[in-house]
C-alpha cells in the first residue's frame, strides 16, 4: 500500500478507503501481456480468517462440483456519442439504459469533451436544461426534457431511418417510433454505426467495443460492461464444466454509473428466465452454492426472489437496493470487481459477504496492489 492509500475499518462507520491513481487498470489485460483469465483474483471466505491470492484461471479449482455460477449475458452497447449544442459547441453524450417514463424513453449524461476521455462538468456548469436539443451524428438528435438526477436527464431520442437492407424482404408494416423503448433494434443499429464504448479518465485511450464484451454477451443493452465476467474465457468455461460447476444466465442491462458520482442504483431492465430459476431452486435443494458473477447478477436474482426465498422467472424493471439490513435470499457467494469508495455496491457486498470479510479483502487488495475498474482484478467472496 502506498502512502496515499488509507483505510478506515471502524466497525461503527462506513467502509472507507482511498484508491491511489496507479491502481486503476488503464488497459485491458490483453494489452498488458496477459490472457483475460490471467488477471489476479483475491479469494475470501466468510467463515475463514485469511484471504488467498490466485490468478483467475484458478477459478474452477476453487469451486465445488454442484456449484452454480449465475452470469449476466447482457452485451455492451457503444453508448458514447459525439454531439453538438445549438450554438455548435461540442458535447459528449453518454446514453444510459432505456427508461419507461413519459418524460423520455432514455436517460442521458452530457459530458465535456477533452483530448482524452470525456469529463464530467463542474457543478453548475452543465449545459443540460429542459428543452435542450443536442444534434447527434447521422441526423439524430436528443431532446432533454427533465432532470432525473443532477447528472442524468430524461431525453427523447429521434433517430434517422435505418439505411435500407437490400437483402431484407419488402414489408408494408409501419416501423415503430424510433424513441420507442420497445424497439431497441433500431437504436442498436444506430449505435453500431455512430457510437463508441463509454470510457473514463483512468483508461489510457479508446478501446474497441470488443474489449468491453464478455464471453457470455448475447443480449445487447448495457451502457457499461458487466465487468465481473470479463476474465472468463472459453477455456475457463470448459474447465468449469469438466469440474461439474454449472453456469446459468440472467439478463440485466446496466446504465451509466459514472465513477465521479456516488448515486444509489436506479431502475434497470432485467430478466430471469424460467430454466435459470428452476436450476437455482434445484441447486439450493441439493446443497449446492449459488454464486453470482457481478453485482448485476445479484440484483437480478434478488429482485426475482420472494420473501420465502423462492426464485421465480421474472421480466421487468427493478429498483431494488440491496443493503445489509435487507440481506440476500438466493445468493451464497459473489465474484466481483473492486469498487470505488462510497459506491452503493459496497452495501450489496456487505450483505453477501459480511462486514469483517469485506474489510479484510479491501485491506489486502490495497496492500497487494490489486487493480481497480473494468479492466482490473477481481474478488471472489465465498461462504466457506
9-45 pLDDT, tens digit per residue, is 333 446 789 999 999 999 999 999 999 999 999 999 9
* pLDDT given at position 332: 98
Other beta carbons less than 10 A from residue 335's beta carbon: 26
Q: What is the dihedral of CA 47, 51, 54, 58, to 10 degrees?
A: -10
Other beta carbons less than 10 A from residue 76's beta carbon: 25
Backbone angles phi, psi at 212, to 5 degrees: -105, 15
CA separation, residue 173 to residues 176, 240, 334 (Å): 9, 46, 46
74 has a pLDDT exceeding 70: yes
Q: How far is Cα 260 from Cα 268, in angstroms, rounded to an integer?
A: 20
- Report pTM: 0.90
Residues 6+ apart with CB under 8 A from 167: none
Residue 209, CB half-sphere, CA atoms under 13 Å: how many? Answer: 19
Residue 80, CB half-sphere, CA atoms under 13 Å: how many? Answer: 22
Question: Following DSSP, what letter does each residue of 1-55 receive, concatenated?
Answer: --TT--EE--TTS--EE---GGGB--S-GGGGT--GGGSEEEEEETT-S-EEEEE
* pLDDT given at position 341: 87
Residue recorded with cell 444506430:
190
Q: How far is Cα 92 from Cα 75, in angstroms, rounded to an integer?
A: 22
- What is residue 96's three-state secondary structure? strand
* pLDDT given at position 162: 64
* pLDDT given at position 307: 93
* pLDDT given at position 342: 80
Q: How confident is the model at residue 102 (pLDDT cuts 50, 70, 90)?
A: confident
Residue recorded with cell 462440483:
65
Q: How confident is the model at residue 344 (pLDDT cuts 50, 70, 90)?
A: confident
Q: Express each pLDDT in 302-337 by its tens digit.
A: 999 999 999 999 999 999 999 999 999 999 999 999
Amino acid at each position: 500500500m502506498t502512502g496515499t492509500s488509507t483505510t478506515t475499518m471502524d466497525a461503527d462507520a462506513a467502509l472507507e478507503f482511498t484508491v491511489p491513481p496507479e491502481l486503476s487498470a488503464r488497459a485491458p489485460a490483453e494489452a498488458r501481456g496477459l490472457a483475460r483469465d490471467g488477471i489476479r483474483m483475491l479469494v475470501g471466505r466468510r467463515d475463514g480468517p485469511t484471504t488467498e491470492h490466485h490468478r483467475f484461471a484458478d477459478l474452477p479449482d476453487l469451486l465445488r462440483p454442484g456449484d452454480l455460477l449465475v452470469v449476466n449475458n447482457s452485451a455492451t452497447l457503444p453508448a458514447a456519442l459525439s454531439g453538438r449544442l445549438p450554438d455548435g459547441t461540442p458535447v459528449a453524450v453518454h446514453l444510459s439504459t432505456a427508461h419507461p417514463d413519459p418524460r423520455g424513453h432514455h436517460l442521458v449524461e452530457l459530458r465535456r469533451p477533452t483530448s482524452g476521455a470525456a469529463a464530467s462538468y463542474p457543478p453548475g456548469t452543465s449545459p443540460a436544461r429542459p428543452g435542450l436539443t443536442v444534434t447527434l451524428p447521422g441526423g439524430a438528435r436528443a431532446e432533454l426534457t427533465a432532470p432525473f438526477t443532477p447528472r442524468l436527464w430524461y431525453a427523447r431520442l429521434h433517430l434517422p431511418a435505418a439505411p435500407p437492407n437490400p437483402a431484407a424482404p419488402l414489408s408494408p408494416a409501419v416501423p415503430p417510433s424510433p424513441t420507442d423503448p420497445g424497439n431497441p433494434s433500431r437504436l442498436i443499429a444506430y449505435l453500431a454505426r455512430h457510437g463508441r464504448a463509454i470510457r473514463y479518465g483512468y483508461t489510457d485511450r479508446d478501446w474497441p467495443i470488443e474489449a468491453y464484451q464478455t464471453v457470455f454477451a448475447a443480449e445487447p443493452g448495457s451502457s457499461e460492461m458487466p465487468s465481473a465476467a470479463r476474465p472468463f474465457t472459453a477455456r475457463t468455461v470448459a474447465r468449469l464444466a469438466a469440474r461439474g460447476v454449472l453456469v446459468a444466465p440472467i439478463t440485466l442491462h446496466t446504465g451509466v454509473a459514472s465513477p465521479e458520482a456516488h448515486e444509489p442504483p436506479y431502475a434497470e431492465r432485467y430478466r430471469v428466465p424460467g430454466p435459470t430459476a428452476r436450476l437455482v431452486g434445484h441447486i439450493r435443494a441439493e446443497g449446492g452454492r449459488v454464486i453470482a458473477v457481478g453485482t448485476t447478477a445479484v440484483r437480478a436474482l434478488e429482485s426475482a426472489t420472494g420473501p420465502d426465498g423462492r426464485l421465480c422467472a421474472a421480466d421487468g424493471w427493478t429498483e431494488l437496493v440491496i443493503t445489509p439490513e435487507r440481506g440476500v435470499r438466493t445468493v451464497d457467494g459473489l465474484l466481483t470487481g473492486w469498487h470505488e469508495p462510497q459506491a452503493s455496491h459496497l452495501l450489496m457486498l456487505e450483505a453477501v459477504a459480511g462486514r469483517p470479510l469485506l474489510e479484510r479483502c479491501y485491506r489486502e487488495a490495497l496492500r497487494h496492489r490489486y487493480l481497480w475498474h473494468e479492466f482490473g482484478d477481481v474478488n471472489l467472496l465465498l461462504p466457506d
